[in-house]
Structure 1
Amino acid sequence: MTEAEARAAIVAEAMSWIDTPYHHHARIKGVGVDCAQLPAAVYHAVGLIPDLQPEYSPQWMLHRDEEQYLAWVRPHAREIERDQLEPGDLVMWKFGRTYSHSAIVIERPTIIHAVNRAGRVELGDMDRDADLISRPSLYFSLFVKD
């Protein structure tokens, strides 16, 4: 699979999760998923990462400084600059004390993410969504080589 084909597969798989209800630590399309499990499910479904099954509590980011989520992402993706984002890349935002929310880029600035407040997987705009624009963010690609 070429990089372009893999990116298209990521976007198609991510879009197939639209309207899946938000449910902490779930990963069943149409039934429930959270913002950490959505990218894990999508990237695994297209064969880019192993089946990751991290354990975490619903509010871990409010009570710990340890960057657990970043530790799960970094072995599989490389940090990039915002202007390098392409479809299929990952964006992470700091909520609470750590980077704890993520979204997959559909076509910048459009993203797809599982939103607790909305109660579902939905499209968003990383440049306009009030819950995101003022937060520190990091950008990752599974396609950047060392």
Structure 2
Amino acid sequence: MTAIPNEAASRARVVAEARRWIGTPYHPGADLRGVGVDCGMLLVRVFVETGLVPPFDPRPYPQDWHLHRDDERYLGFLFGRSREVAAPEPGDIAMFRQGRTYSHGGIVTSIDPLVLVHAFSPAQAVIEEPLARNGLLTQPYRAPRFFSLWGAP
């Protein structure tokens, strides 16, 4: 496993960078802060901009791929770059089932209560909110999973 130097500082940088995106309009496939982003590209931009992940671009992908396929495309972005954890910490990734796959993600900014920054289509923007206040993401079938870059292979 590879260790990321100064874990606390790295986690703080991820949280700070995620918060810089708050208010950016939701736009499928976009990745420009202040202009438009979706939940997948938000994660890519935050982790690439903080230098924790080498640049990569998972596009193109259809906006509704998660409704018509069982391919866990989003989890594929995470495998090899992170490890699944039972209890998240700030800077970790929360993934939620949406449609047929895990296709919605956000960045954990606080754990008690669990708070996320995510590009949320119903809000039409990047928002920061306690998970408990989101009636859609707390539905049981959403079955959240958590991933961390710290301690990843």
TM-score tier (shorter): over 0.9
1:142 to 126, 131, 149: 149
**Deviation (angstroms), 1:145:** 4.4
- 1:77-98 C-alpha deviation (Å, 9 max, x unpaired): 10000xx211100000000000
Listed one character per residue, the Cα deviations across residues 36-94 of structure 1 (whole Å, up to 9, x for unaligned) are 0001100001111122211210000000001011011111110000xx21110000000
What secondary structure sits across from 1:23 in the alignment? Answer: coil
* Alignment map for 1:2-17 (pairs within 5 Å): 2-17=6-21
Match 1:131 to one of 125, 131, 136: 136
State which drifts further: 3-12 or 45-54: 45-54
SS in 2 for 1:127: helix
Large movers: runs of 4+ above 3 Å: none
1:126 Cα deviation from its structure 2 partner: 1.8
Q: CA RMSD in A?
A: 1.1
Alignment-mate amino acid for residue 42 of structure 2: L
- The two structures have a TM-score, normalised by structure 2, of 0.91
Unpaired runs of at least 5, structure 1:
none
- How far residue 123 of structure 1 moved from its aligned partner, in angstroms, is 0.8
Matching of residue 52 in structure 1 with residue 56 in structure 2: yes
Aligned equivalent of 1:122: 127
TM-score, normalization by structure 1: 0.95
Kept in 1: contact 2:81–2:152 (CA 8 A): no
Within 5 Å, give how 1:46-125 maps onto structure 2: 46-54=50-58, 55-81=60-86, 84-108=87-111, 109-125=114-130
Aligned residue pairs total 144
- Runs (5+) with no aligned partner, structure 2: none
Conservation of the 8 A alpha-carbon contact between 2:118 and 2:128: yes
